[in-house]
């Protein structure tokens, strides 16, 4: 079992506010939400953080293009991310903005600490810079773009920059980082990403430019207002700002080091190389784990604004339903791999797994109970080996699902639950309670009880993924609110015969294609 009230701190990356949220943002935060909800139900004291990254040249330029000041611009765009959190039913405990005073104070405290440790020095920066990536690139990293222009490996345009800059002594941290990765094999996941990062560090680290003078929208460098902090030192600090750093004690002592930073694979280097180096240099423990997930394509095509195939999560919710979208995103792809969003796959999961497998199971069982057992949890007789087999499978789910969630294998966790859902459907077909109704009503009652128990355990475990639908299923079993945590799983929380249950209603409607008026094909 988990320790009661053990702290658990999980973070999303903070999202850059130069655009509106898309499926990638929804996906990362959803994975964190599912894990945060799972841990809460498992008795942990969870802090789940998300937020927005609001400084940098891109924001300054975007605001200027709209004719408004950067703070007004970020106020507007940051709200889009709060609205997404509400629409997706995310359960974050905090929402941090890098324009908040608490964050500026933490950034400046970290800077001063690094100066005290002789980890920062002033020099001049000359090199290639991509505004879009807010990143510097070495000559040998550049690729040829159209018309022979130099471009970043990400495809972003680069410009030659020469300016005074403060540098962080990253080159001093290569061996220490390698040692840290070896001592903490679970620090970077999945394994393929870990190998990538280690290979990058093994190749040698250059000192890192951590300030800019060519624009003003950022956290001022303490003692030198001509400079503002480079966006990555500023942005990454949010994870300790949110737990009260630089104040020791309180939330910082309770929740730091973070249990998990969830990120997209494109920002892994910042989180797995720069961030632990900054922290170790400041005498702060690095986080326990960084998980880099993959990207989505749309019907097999790379998603891009220029192609116009960006997936809006709000439109998905409107088309398919909130819990259906949440389920699909966690179920469709091995977490960590790239995945493809297609209408056909979405409808397949909705109708095949949610409506047919789970929804139909619950509806059949509860309808038969309502009709044949006076609308109450039925009396139970002796269990047969088949009954016991299904009950044991349902009661044993947490022990199988918990380690999968701990390594962010969401798709495997759901498949493990579905093994029991499919077993329950096979059991109901074999036992045929509709036949037993006439031949052996007492046996029918036991069969329905076993099925209700299977549904109860599945519904409790499905709450992190489909919170609203799982709540409806538990309502229909008359499960009180205080009996919905993982402590109620298994025999200890079993249904009590004679408990009245409400009239059953469908929870997962089938998706029906909207009728279209097709033009006559000529």
Tokens of 94: 């905090």
Tokens of 30: 């959803």
94-97 and 45-53 beta bridge pairing: parallel
15: β partners: 52
Q: Calculate the alpha carbon distances from 365 to 362, 371, 505 in Å.
A: 5, 10, 11
Q: Calculate the alpha carbon distances from 143 to 268, 302, 348, 506 in Å.
A: 21, 20, 41, 55
Answer yes or no: are the C-beta atoms of 7 and 44 closer than 8 Å: yes
- Name 337's Cβ contacts closer than 8 Å, sequence gap at least 6: 294
301 is in an annotated binding site: yes
Cα end-to-end distance, the chain, whole Å: 66
Tokens of 258: 């973070």
Give the total residue count for the chain. 522
Residue 359: is the preceding peptide bond cis (ω within 30°)?
no
The pairs formed by 472-480 with CB atoms below 8 angstroms and a separation of 24 or more are: 472/505, 472/507, 473/362, 473/507, 475/502, 476/362, 476/366, 476/501, 476/502, 476/504, 476/505, 476/507, 477/366, 477/377, 477/452, 477/501, 478/377, 478/502
Answer yes or no: are the C-beta atoms of 121 and 167 closer than 8 Å: yes
- Which residue positions form the known binding site? 301
As annotated, the binding site for ATP includes 301
């Amino acid at each position: 079992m988990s320790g009661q009230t053990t702290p658990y701190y999980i973070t999303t990356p903070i999202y850059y506010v130069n655009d509106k949220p898309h499926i990638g943002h929804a996906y990362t935060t959803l994975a964190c939400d599912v894990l945060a909800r799972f841990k809460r139900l498992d008795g942990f004291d969870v802090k789940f953080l998300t937020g927005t990254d609001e400084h940098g040249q891109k924001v300054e330029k975007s605001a200027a293009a709209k004719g408004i000041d950067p703070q007004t611009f970020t106020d507007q765009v940051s709200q889009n991310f709060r609205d997404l959190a509400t629409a997706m039913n995310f359960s974050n405990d905090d929402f941090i903005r890098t324009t908040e005073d608490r964050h500026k104070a933490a950034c400046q405290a970290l800077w001063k600490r690094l100066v005290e440790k002789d980890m920062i020095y002033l020099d001049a920066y000359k090199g290639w810079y991509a505004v879009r990536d807010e990143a510097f690139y070495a000559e040998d990293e550049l690729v040829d773009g159209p018309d022979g222009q130099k471009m970043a490996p990400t495809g972003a345009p680069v410009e030659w920059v020469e300016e005074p800059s403060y540098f962080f002594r990253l080159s001093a941290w290569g061996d220490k980082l390698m040692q840290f990765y070896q001592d903490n094999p679970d620090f970077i996941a999945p394994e393929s990403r870990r190998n990538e990062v280690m290979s990058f560090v093994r190749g040698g680290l250059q000192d890192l430019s951590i300030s800019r003078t060519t624009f003003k929208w950022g956290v001022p460098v303490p003692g030198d207002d001509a400079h503002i902090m480079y966006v990555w030192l500023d942005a990454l600090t949010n994870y300790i700002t949110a737990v009260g750093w630089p104040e020791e004690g309180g939330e910082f002592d309770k929740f730091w080091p973070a249990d998990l930073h969830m990120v997209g694979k494109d920002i892994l280097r910042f989180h797995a190389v720069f961030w632990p180096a900054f922290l170790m240099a400041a005498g702060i423990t690095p986080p326990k784990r960084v998980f880099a997930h993959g990207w989505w394509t749309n019907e097999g095509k790379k998603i891009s604004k220029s192609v116009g195939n960006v997936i809006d999560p709000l439109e998905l919710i409107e088309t398919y339903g909130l819990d259906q979208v949440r389920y699909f995103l966690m179920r469709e792809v091995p977490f960590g791999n790239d995945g493809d969003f297609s209408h056909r796959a979405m409808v397949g999961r909705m109708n095949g797994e949610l409506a047919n497998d789970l929804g139909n199971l619950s509806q059949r069982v509860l309808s038969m109970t309502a009709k044949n057992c006076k609308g109450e949890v039925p009396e139970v007789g002796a269990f047969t080996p088949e009954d016991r087999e299904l009950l044991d499978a349902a009661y044993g789910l947490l022990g199988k699902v918990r380690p999968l969630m701990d390594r962010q294998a969401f798709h495997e966790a759901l498949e493990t639950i579905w093994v029991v859902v499919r077993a329950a459907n096979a059991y109901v077909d074999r036992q045929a309670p509709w036949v037993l109704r006439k031949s052996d009503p007492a046996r029918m009652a036991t069969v329905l009880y076993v099925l209700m128990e299977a549904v109860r355990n599945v519904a409790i475990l499905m709450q992190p993924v489909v919170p609203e639908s799982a709540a409806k299923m538990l309502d229909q079993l008359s499960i009180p609110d205080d009996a919905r945590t993982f402590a109620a799983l298994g025999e200890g929380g079993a249904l009590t015969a004679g408990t009245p249950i409400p009239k059953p209603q469908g929870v997962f409607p089938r998706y029906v294609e909207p009728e279209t008026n097709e033009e006559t094909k000529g």
